[in-house]
Amino acid sequence: MSAAVTIDNVVKDYGPVRVLHGLQLDIREGEFVSLLGPSGCGKSTLLYCVAGLEQISSGRILFDGRDMAALGSRERNIALVFQDYALYPHMTVRENIAFPLRRLKVDRKTIEGQVAWAAETLGLAALLERMPSDLSGGQRQRVAVGRAIVRNPAALLMDEPLSNLDAALRVHMRTEIKRLASDLGLTVLFVTHDQEEAMVMSDRIAVLSQGHLQQFAAPMDVYRNPANRFVAEFIGSPKMNLLPSPDRADILLGLRPHDLTPAGPQDGEDAFSLAGTIALIEPAGPQYFLDVLVGGQLVRATASEIDNLSNGSEVRLSAPAHRVYRFDVATGDAL
C-alpha cells in the first residue's frame, strides 16, 4: 500500500523568499527517511509540500511515479503526525483512531477491524474507551500514530513527533515507531533536528541547510563520509573538531572526539597525533570527554580511562590516519 515518493527539483518560494532550492530526493517504497537540519532549514515546508498542504513553486512530487500536482491533501492518502498530537479531546481513543475512516465513509465493520488492528499493533487495546486527557504523553503519541496508520496511507509524514516527550520516552518511542514502520512496510518521512534520532531511526537521512540538500545517505555513511563541513559538524556528538592544517592554509582538518584518544604505546606509524594540556575532564558513562588545549584551541577527545590524567597534565592525543577528515576552507567540501 505504501508508495515510493519522488521529490523532483522542488522549489518553494514564499513571496520573494526562496526556502527550498531545487530539492531532489528519491524515496523508496517502505523506506524510512529523516529530514534533518537546524531550525528554519525547510524541513516542515518540504513535508507540507509532500502532503499537499503547501503548493510548490516549481518541480514535481510523485507517488509511485504519479504526479501529485492536481491532487489536494485529502486525495493523496498520506497520514500526518505532528509534534502536538492534536487528538480530539471530546472523543475516546477508539473514536480518535476511527475518525479518518469515518470521514471517508468507510463501512462500520471495516472500521472496527482496522481500529482493533491499530490498537493491537500499538498496545492500546486496553485504552480504547479512555479520553485523551486520561492518557500519558507516550500513550497520546501512540493514539496519534494509530489514527495515522489506520487507513494504510501511501506515506506516513511525521513532523518532530517526539519532541514533547521526556528523554526516556523519546528513546522508547523512536524504537517503537521504527519497528512499527518496518513491520508495516510504511514509507516514512520523519522531520527532526535531532541528529541522534535521525541516526538510529532512518534507512537514509536527508541533511538540509538553508533549503539546500547537503547529503542524502545511510546514517553511518553520513557519519563516516560527510559530504562537507556542514554535515560533518551537524552529525555526531560531541561535535567534530576542526583544526587548521599544519602545512596547508586552504585545508581544515576534521577529527571526531570519539576517534581522538590519549596515545597508547602500541600506536602505529599511521596515526595522526597532537600534544596539548588537559583543561577539563568530563565523566560521561562509557567514557570520559577531555577538553584539551592545543596551541590556543580547545580540542575535544575521549578516553576510556583517566588513570594518569588530570587538569593541567600534558597529554598526547592520536587518531587513526584514516579517521582524519579534510575540508576545503573556501567551499567546505570534503576532500
Ligand X SMILES: Nc1ncnc2c1ncn2[C@@H]1O[C@H](COP(=O)(O)OP(=O)(O)OP(=O)(O)O)[C@@H](O)[C@H]1O
**Residue 6 identity (one-letter amino acid):** T
**Residue 190: DSSP 8-state:** E
For ligand X, give the closer residue by CB, 42 or 52: 42
Q: State the nearest-atom distance from the C-beta of 73 to ligand X, in Å.
A: 16
Q: State the nearest-atom distance from the C-beta of 47 to Mg ion, in Å.
A: 8
For ligand X, give the closer residue by CB, 53 or 116: 53
Binding to ligand X in span 225-264, by CB under 6 A: none
Query: Does 44 interact with Mg ion (rule: CB under 5 A)?
Result: yes
Query: CA nearest 23: which of 213, 155, 206?
Result: 213
Rounded-to-5 percentages of helix, strand, coil across the chain: 30, 35, 35
For Mg ion, give the closer residue by CB, 234 or 288: 234
Give the residue at shortest CB distance from Mg ion: 44
Q: How many residues bind ligand X (CB under 6 A)?
A: 12
Q: State the nearest-atom distance from the C-beta of 231 to ligand X, in Å.
A: 16
How many Å separate Cα 67 from the centre of its chain?
Answer: 26
Please choose, out of 32-40, 84-92, 105-113, 310-318, the segment that lies near ligand X by the rule CB under 6 A: 32-40
Choice from 1, 13, 14, 248 touching ligand X (CB under 6 A): 14
Please choose, out of 12-20, 72-80, 102-110, 143-151, the segment that lies near ligand X by the rule CB under 6 A: 12-20
Please choose, out of 37-45, 94-102, 239-247, 302-310, the segment that lies near ligand X by the rule CB under 6 A: 37-45
For Mg ion, give the closer residue by CB, 44 or 141: 44
Label residue 16 exposed, middle or buried (CB < 10 Å: 0-12, 13-18, 19+).
Answer: exposed
Query: CA nearest 299: which of 262, 268, 326, 327?
Result: 262
Helix axes 108-121, 167-184, angle to 10 degrees: 130
Binding mask of the shown chain, residues 179 to 198, with x at each position contacting ligand X by CB under 6 A: --------------x-----
What pairs with residue 242 in β-bridges? 254
Choice from 42, 52, 146, 236 touching ligand X (CB under 6 A): 42
- Report yes or no: 5 and 62 within 8 Å, Cβ to Cβ: yes
Query: Does 11 interact with ligand X (rule: CB under 6 A)?
Result: no
Beta-strand pair 297-303/251-255? unpaired
Distance CA 213, CA 76 (A): 24
- Report yes or no: 76 and 52 within 8 Å, Cβ to Cβ: yes
Please choose, out of 14-22, 117-125, 134-142, 248-256, the segment that lies near ligand X by the rule CB under 6 A: 14-22
**Residue 27 identity (one-letter amino acid):** I
Q: How far is CA 318 from CA 270, 302, 307, in A?
A: 10, 10, 17
Query: Does 34 interact with Mg ion (rule: CB under 5 A)?
Result: no
Contact partner at residue 14 from ligand X, Mg ion, none, CB < 5 to 8 Å by partner kind: ligand X
Distance CA 272, CA 290 (A): 17
Q: Which positions lie near ligand X, rule CB under 6 A?
A: 14, 17, 19, 37, 39-45, 193
Q: Which positions lie near Mg ion, rule CB under 5 A?
A: 44
